Structure 1
Amino acid sequence: MQGGSSHYFVGVPISEEIREVLMEWQKKLKQLIQYKTWTNPEDFHITLKFLGAVDSENITDVLRMLKEDAQKYPDPFHLKTSDLKFFGQKQKPRVLFMEVEDHPSLKSLKEMVDTRLKAADFRKENRPYRPHITIAKKWKPEQTGAFPLEKLETLKETMTLPVDRFHVFRIDPAKTPKYEIVETIKLG
């Protein structure tokens, strides 16, 4: 896309083990509730920073900023995952996700990414950072009826996620999966 812009974000990939658990959860949930968007298993990730539209000339600068002094990023670490949670009201949960531990190294990585990209005029998010892996978005209550909160209680899985890198992803809503890795930055 010469001169055009695409949407990008920075995120942490997940392990195959966690992907398989989330696929099982989706399989069970799809029998109970309707969501407009179910995350493609290849697109599961933990977002560090949403960049939005970035033109093809400026993405090169973004990648350079993120790669500068890469050895200053935290050393590789492990996160714990846990329960199925949601954003929104209990009666209308707009986003379903797997909760991820708010680990000090993850916070540090997020802050470093924010700081580096502030120089490129990407603003820091106003709301608190809540790391998670999105499973589904945009609940359709008119097709589902009451939301089965009690079923969420059964979907728990404490797992360990090794974090040794992060990616810059380009979003292509017309493709499946819709996230393409543009750059990989290793930790430590």
Structure 2
Amino acid sequence: MKKHYFIAVPIEEHHQQLIQNWITTYKNKLPFQSWVHPNDYHITLAFLGDVGEDEKLELLVDKIKQTVQFVPQYELFLKGIDVFGKPDFPRIFWAGLKESTNLQQFQKQVFDRCQEVGFQLDKKPFRPHITLARKWKSEEPFRKWSQLDHAFEGSSSHFKVEKIHLYQTNLNKIPKYEVVETFLLQTLESVRE
């Protein structure tokens, strides 16, 4: 079985629990076929797919290490929930994030490093999100309701991006994403030095 790889911002345990608490409250209204394990929550920056050559992956790891040494830590904020796919029968149910220039710029840097090494990446515009569930399974159409737009409001919805991971997908395990490499972003003090 081929192993797929991707680079992503992990969601720390406190915010995994925050999302899980929200899901527990509303899950009976949301008949999706499969729910993502909380340890697998992440924000994908670049999906690499089947890597094939180990040398290519090693070269990418070196390039990402060089890049993150100049990237300071920054904050992100959870904001609302939405879907991808047909509005009535969506394929992906996800948590959103407030717009972040830091995240957009960082994703572009990671994306560019991947392309420099020779990875062919999806050219669709970057839509940062945290996948929560897949495949609507009810015969009744999905309908958006106000709690989706206002999910996470008034809670401790902000979190610091301190690192990113290179993940490997293991389809036969739960959780299914395994950390292969961790890249630490810099504190403001270390960037100034």
TM range (shorter): 0.7 to 0.9
Partner of 1:137: 134
**Corresponding letter in the other structure for 2:179:** I
Shift of 1:154: 7.0
Q: Distance in 2 between matches of 1:22 and 1:138?
A: 19
Q: Normalized per residue, which structure has more strand? A: 1
Q: Distance in 2 between matches of 1:32 and 1:69?
A: 43
Q: 1:90 aligns with which of 56, 67, 87?
A: 87
Number of aligned pairs? 182
Q: Does 1:110 align with 2:69?
A: no
Shift of 1:102: 2.7
Determine if contact 2:82/2:149 at 8 Å carries over to the other structure.
no
Q: Distance in 2 between matches of 1:136 and 1:61?
A: 33
TM-score, structure 2 normalization: 0.85
Shift of 1:151: 6.1
Partner of 1:122: 119
Unaligned runs of 5+ in 1: none
Shift of 1:148: 4.1
Partner of 1:173: 171
Q: CA RMSD in A?
A: 2.0
Shift of 1:183: 0.5
TM-score, structure 1 normalization: 0.87
* 1:32-60 deviation line (CA, Å, top 9, x unaligned): 23222210011001111111001252322
Unaligned runs of 5+ in 2: 187-193
* 1:6-28 deviation line (CA, Å, top 9, x unaligned): 20000001122221121123223
Q: State how 1:3-152 maps to structure 2 within 5 Å.
A: 5-55=2-52, 57=54, 58-72=56-70, 74-142=71-139, 145-150=140-145, 152=147
* 1:65-118 deviation line (CA, Å, top 9, x unaligned): 22124322x210001111111112331222111111231111111111111111
SS of 2:142's partner is coil
Q: Distance in 1 between matches of 2:67 and 2:146?
A: 46
